[in-house]
A and B are shown apart, each in its own frame.
Chain A
């Protein structure tokens, strides 16, 4: 608590010259991130980073939890189809399981467009699984646009890895 109070006083001192008098803790600049454990924020991470035991089992038992897309595309190609077939078989064997499909994009798209494109990709995967008999009511989708890449480079290989839809077993 003493440490927090120090920060508040410092915040006040800093902003006094900036012309504001009503300051709260939220206005104090945050320190650098020190928590790299994966659960750092309440919902600052995509589901890929907050895996349940059931999801770990799912990942072991399907050919992959991730399908990939071409640049600015959202069609399910033969490779993705095989992966989703494997996921569908697992899900049919585990009835009632709820999943979230995350849609992601590479950085070569503007932010807002990529949110829509990620949504398209997640929905393309959802529609495929639904056509294979998984109840649509058990499938949630979420688009992260270009906010949560898995590969950090700015090159063809990284971009190809980041254009993806990831299936995550929630419960």
Chain B
């Protein structure tokens, strides 16, 4: 699952002497024009940038384990197109407005032709099957007006990882044009649901950020809730009702094995990994009182972090691991509190009307997302870690359980319509626009977004 990022694409291209149409290597550093197209994402989305993403040509049509290279060139362009469109920050031109690109044109765009399409930026690339079975995907970004090359990257991937090359390319483009961190090459775990409202059958599933590579990880025989990916993305911590003992378990993705996290008879739930993956923060109920604990992810004795009468749950670490945000009803109703990672300095940060729950700290550290319940509706919002700047991002009947994209720019959550009992996964931009339903094979809830993949 390793992607080799080739910055010196010229070398790998020049090495391909078998291919007569090798694009000429350009050794000069990319010129960055002053009038670079840059999308202002700080103040919200003004107008999505028109961008052209033509089919990526191949150096030579070859059959690979991922399919024929000419078909792959079309699929790669489609994935990049979807990623950028779904961000809400780009308007990819439809394929019928695009001009086919010859392999020799990849590093020498026909700017005269592209200028008339209305696109501001142009993505070109190529696919090549390597002798050792791997694939090289070239990824170039051009500013059409200034005729400047903005990105030149290449990705060498195993055939099984070909989609990731497209996501890496889309991430490079997105990052270059928005200044935001990458998020397309990432995975989600969530609960896939089906069946009547009083007997939902729930399974943990994992998929790429765009819904591809979907896999079910549990068989649905036990209720499973709140799966969360480990920072290294090799484990999932979740809650299961297996053997009617509702408690936290850890699933190893590679080994396909599950083990209990805490070995006792108490109700344990609401697990989340620490940013370094060494600990799991969780809630434990003893005789009706719920507090926050942490335990080594490898197993060991739980350490108690809160000791207040009431329900303390929904803990989430700050990205540097020094603080924890959680919800507590110690003041009468569910509100958000922040404390040091050892449990010290507990202080309330939410003071608006209604109840606040399910806090999650942004990977950028600057915001905390939450579910707010008031006026009969559950909505997703954000506030600063000190409690200021509260902003609600959704306005529906039942939105719950936000999770951050790896770059802290997009939130995913689950939405239920009144009376339906059938939640779906949705995402929304941090500015509250571009609310979008995520397509899943079954209904979906409890999403948890993993970090950017290495």
Contacts and interface: CB of A to CB of B under 8 A. Distances in A.
Contacts of B416: 107
B288 interface: yes
A89 interface: no
Chain B interface size, as a band, is 35 or more
Contact of A42 (B222, B311, B398): B222
A21 interface: yes
A102 B371 CA distance: 26
A41 B201 contact: yes
Contacts of A65: none
Interface stretch (B32-40, B208-216, B339-347): B208-216
B22 interface: no
A116 interface: yes
Interface string B232-247: 0000000101111010
A122 B290 CA distance: 13
A107 to B, nearest CB: 8
Contacts, number: 164
A27 interface: yes
A41 B220 contact: yes
B436 interface: no
B170 to A, nearest CB: 16
B221 interface: yes
Given A111-B401, A119-B288, A142-B246, A44 B201 contact: yes
Q: Majority SS of interface residues in chain A?
A: loop
Interface of A: 15, 17-21, 24, 26-30, 32-33, 36, 40-45, 47, 49, 72, 74, 107-113, 115-117, 119-120, 122-124, 127, 142-144, 147-150, 152-155
Interface string B151-173: 00000000111111000000000
Contact of B163 (A19, A107, A142): A19
Contact of B243 (A32, A33, A43, A120): A43
A123 B441 contact: no
B195 to A, nearest CB: 5
A131 B430 CA distance: 52
7 contacts: A20-B160, A36-B196, A110-B334, A111-B446, A113-B329, A149-B197, A153-B419
A17 B242 CA distance: 33
Nearest to A115: B269
Contacts of A21: 160
Contact of B267 (A20, A107, A115, A148): A115
A149 B398 CA distance: 16
Contact of B226 (A24, A112, A123, A144): A112
Given A33-B195, A112-B358, A152-B196, A19 B66 contact: yes
The 6 nearest A-B residue pairs measured at CB: A123-B288, A110-B357, A154-B419, A116-B290, A116-B311, A18-B213
A88 B307 CA distance: 33
Contacts of B218: 26
A123 B286 CA distance: 9
Contacts of A30: 194, 201, 203, 216, 219-220
B288 A111 contact: no
A120 to B, nearest CB: 4
